[in-house]
Amino acid sequence: MSNYATLTREQLAALVPELLLVGQMIDRSGMAWCISEFGREEMLQIAIEEWAAASPIYTRRMQAALAYEPAEPGKGDIVTIFKGLQLDIGAPPQFLDFRFTVDDPWHGGFSLPFCGALADVEGMGDAYVKGMCHTIEDPTFDATAVATNPKAQVRPVHRPPRVPAGRVPVCSWTVIIDESYPDAVGIPALAVNERSRAATLELEPIDATDEGVSDYRGPLLADLDFAAFSHSALVRIADEVCLQMALLDRAFVLALKARADTEQLLRLRRKQLTGFAGIAAMRVARALDLPATPEGALELLRLHPMLNPAAYVRTRGEAGTLAVSPGPAHEDAAWVSLIGPDWAVPLAAAVRELDPHFDVTVTGADDEWVARVVVRDEETKETDEVAVTKISLGAGFAFEKRRSLPLLVNG
């Protein structure tokens, strides 16, 4: 059973957009260290490979989970592409505020009146803005679209650097599907990632009899109202979003392996995970209003995306502890494989978001261990990795309530 199944429907509706947002923060926790290790230009290439080797896989998974996949594989339309973006850690709702238009099944576009990712880099200068909005976006938008239709092209109307300064919307893009276009082709790392346990993992199907919406058939909505989904659907979405993060991390590792030696790879992975563990814990704990107690800290670890979904990372609660045993995530050398008796920093970084006096001890073997939350007399200083990640606007971003209206096809 999913770890998220114990939450109420209301809690899940609050948690799902949080998971989408913290998935975006994986880049914030990893790329800063890649710049210092390899330089800005190489960091951009790592980011391209990371997203291009993950997003086509998890886009298809979400299509199948919520029953809006194309009737014929590879023949999806504009609406299918846009629905996927609404459920993608690369485009968390409101933080990357996509506004869609659909002219017909093969022509459409989107603009962003606000982009949190741009807000994170705009103050760093045009070189960083162009790196994100040009160098990274051009190949990765097409890589995401290829999951739905290889004949799709995503092209800019305008994009940052903003001219004039402060221009709104910050960017505007067309999306066209045309049989005359050459097929978009996945990068080699995509085929490697497609063979992972995360890519092929089977999760519990959504119970269509559960109260609420069980799929995303029908019209494209301007904004998804997660509260409209059933409890069963929200559990599946939460688990799928955690798999998106696992697939993105696997793609990150594949990109690093082409550039890093063994020591560098381990060091960079640990830095990325530590920063992510802290910011994800902060937002999950706030969304669910978890108590600042050892019991609340264990609940936070049980629900943390680095240790989910339950079908991927095998965990169980036992007498005030959280136990981990070998499972598919260990086979993938996923985040949990980095944690053990010799290194439990991410677990500690997570629980300290509830109380800086909290710490975690881990006993057992590398792939089978038991974690306990302990209370220290002295507060522990926040790690550099968490502090760097929290520089992002995503650390304090607040979601607003929006009406979920269907988008009509123009004309």
Alpha helices in 289-409 (DSSP H): 294-303, 328-331, 345-351, 384-389
- The residues, any chain, with a CB within 8 Å of residue 26's CB and separated by 6 or more, are 89, 245, 248, 249, 252, 272, 276
**Under 8 Å between Cβ of 344 and 360:** yes
Give mean pLDDT, residues 51-67. Answer: 97
261 CB neighbour count, 10 Å cutoff:
9
| Phi, psi dihedral angles at 342 (to 5 degrees) | -85, -15
Cα distance between residue 100 and residue 20, in whole Å: 19
358 CB neighbour count, 10 Å cutoff:
24
Burial class (CB in 10 A: 0-12, 13-18, 19+), 259: middle
Q: Output the average pLDDT for the chain.
A: 96
Give residue 212's pLDDT. Answer: 98
**Under 8 Å between Cβ of 332 and 192:** no
Q: Which helix (H) or strand (E) holds 118?
A: helix 116-121
Give residue 410's pLDDT. Answer: 61
List, for residues 23-54, the tens digit of each pLDDT value. Answer: 999 999 999 999 999 999 999 999 999 999 99
List, for residues 167-188, the tens digit of each pLDDT value. Answer: 999 999 999 999 999 998 899 9
pTM equals: 0.97
**Under 8 Å between Cβ of 341 and 366:** yes
For residue 181, the SS3 value is coil
- Which pLDDT band, with edges at 50, 70 and 90, does 404 fall under? confident
**Under 8 Å between Cβ of 79 and 360:** no
- The residues, any chain, with a CB within 8 Å of residue 41's CB and separated by 6 or more, are none
List, for residues 145-160, the tens digit of each pLDDT value. Answer: 778 999 999 999 999 9
Cα distance between residue 187 and residue 255, in whole Å: 11
Q: How far apart are the first and last CA of the chain?
A: 46
